[in-house]
């Protein structure tokens, strides 16, 4: 396992992060702990959960599973989505952030959160309020760093400016959806992260499992897979994933898998590890064998030609104004 700084911070994290979204959902306490133990055994020190994952169970299981090793780990969690029926049990107001942080600390069984992330943009709360509340949590010693997820480019840049002008803490990381089948963040989010020194933590790095090699053109998805159960409005739904372009990506992945002797998932994750701005893709797994497979993404590199083949086949279409600006570059 290799280690990278978490954005523009001095804290080092493993280049693979363990996602805890399946804990308390597809995995019980025992199965989740097995995953965590194996991940730590492989050198991983970075875990990502959220209050909303299984309505708190994921945080509880994660906390219980790491008690003896807590200080060696970098634990990330999130706040924003509803945690109750109350009018203010949602969002990134000062009220909900403060209540959310206390509840997450309790469930995780720890007295600090390493990375506290806003799970998604909230159109109601002024950024000044959110950043002031997050800064207070850092000053109180309850949070070490702050991050964001599912923000657009202008929202990130506005937040960075608000932090600077008010002396608030700045976001060190962005958690966006990023995989060979979802590269739209490259238009705006990757450039702003590179410019601002924000580390990218890709979620859905296998497209919900689509690029793992177990799906085939013309066949129905395996019944017990996440994609088979995803409704059509979900990011990883079969309707969104099973299209001509994505089957071409799978074909190229297959040939690189043969050339390298690595699995589809290992090649797809390795491609992400090589992309500019990426700190740590967040691994999703619902069984130990999947985690084992995915951990094999570390410790080797696909070559430049293979990188280029994958870049070309999965290239997002030109989009104004980015294409216009790229064509107008001088020198």
Residues engaged in binding ligand NAP (CB under 6 A): 19-22, 48, 119, 149-150, 175, 203-209, 212, 214, 225-226, 265, 282, 284-286, 290, 293-294
According to DSSP, the residues that pair with 145 across neighbouring strands are 115
53 has catalytic annotation: yes
Distances (CA, A) of 92 to 99, 200, 212, 242: 10, 21, 35, 35
Alpha-carbon gap, residue 143 to 84, rounded angstroms: 23
> Cβ of residue 277: shortest distance to ligand NAP, in angstroms?
16
Residue 110 or 149: the one with the smaller Cβ distance to ligand NAP is 149
Residue 155 or 294: the one with the smaller Cβ distance to ligand NAP is 294
Three-state DSSP class for 51? Answer: coil
Alpha-carbon gap, residue 323 to 7, rounded angstroms: 27
Residue 100 or 205: the one with the smaller Cβ distance to ligand NAP is 205
| Alpha-carbon 302 to chain mean position | 22
Q: Would you state the structure tokens that stand for residue 234, as one six-digit string? A: 């979900």
Output the CA torsion sign for 239, 243, 249, 253: positive
Three-state DSSP class for 283? Answer: strand
Q: Would you state the structure tokens that stand for residue 26, as one six-digit string? A: 């597809």
Q: Would you state the structure tokens that stand for residue 281, as one six-digit string? A: 């893709």
Residue 222 or 318: the one with the smaller Cβ distance to ligand NAP is 222
Three-state DSSP class for 185? Answer: helix
| Alpha-carbon 261 to chain mean position | 26
According to DSSP, the residues that pair with 175 across neighbouring strands are 149
Three-state DSSP class for 42? Answer: coil
Residue 73 or 206: the one with the smaller Cβ distance to ligand NAP is 206
Residue 143 or 268: the one with the smaller Cβ distance to ligand NAP is 268
Are the CB atoms for 34 and 292 separated by under 8 Å? Answer: no
What is the rounded (10 degree) CA torsion for 162, 165, 167, 171?
30
Q: Which of 3, 53, 178, 187 is catalytic?
A: 53
Catalytically active residues, by annotation: 53
């Amino acid at each position: 396992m290799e280690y990278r700084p978490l954005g523009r911070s001095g804290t080092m994290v493993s280049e693979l992060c363990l996602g805890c979204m399946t804990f308390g959902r597809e995995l019980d306490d025992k199965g989740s702990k097995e995953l965590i133990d194996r991940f730590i055994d492989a050198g991983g020190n970075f875990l990502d959960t959220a209050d909303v994952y299984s309505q708190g169970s994921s945080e509880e299981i994660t906390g219980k599973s790491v008690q003896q090793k807590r200080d060696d780990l970098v634990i990330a969690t999130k706040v924003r989505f509803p945690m109750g029926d109350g009018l203010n049990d949602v969002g990134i107001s000062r009220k909900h952030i403060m209540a959310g942080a206390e509840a997450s600390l309790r469930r995780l069984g720890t007295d600090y959160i390493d990375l506290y992330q806003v799970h998604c943009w909230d159109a109601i709360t002024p950024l000044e309020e959110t950043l002031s509340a997050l800064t207070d949590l850092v000053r109180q010693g309850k949070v070490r760093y702050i991050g964001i997820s599912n923000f657009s480019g202008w929202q990130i840049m506005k937040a960075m400016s608000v932090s600077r002008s008010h002396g608030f803490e700045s976001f060190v990381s962005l958690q966006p959806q990023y995989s060979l089948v979802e590269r739209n963040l490259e238009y705006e989010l990757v450039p702003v992260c590179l410019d601002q020194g924000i580390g990218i933590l890709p979620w859905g790095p296998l497209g919900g499992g689509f690029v793992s090699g177990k799906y085939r053109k013309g066949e129905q998805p395996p019944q017990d897979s996440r994609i088979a159960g995803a409704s059509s409005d979900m990011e990883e739904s079969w309707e969104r994933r099973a299209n001509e372009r994505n089957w071409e990506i799978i074909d190229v992945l297959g040939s690189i898998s043969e050339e390298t002797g690595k699995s589809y998932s290992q090649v797809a994750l390795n491609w992400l590890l090589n992309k500019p701005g990426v700190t740590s893709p967040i691994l999703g797994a619902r069984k130990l064998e999947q985690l084992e497979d995915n951990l094999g993404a570390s410790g080797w590199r696909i070559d430049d030609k293979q990188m280029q083949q994958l870049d070309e086949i999965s290239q997002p279409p030109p989009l104004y104004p980015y294409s216009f600006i790229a064509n107008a570059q001088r020198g």
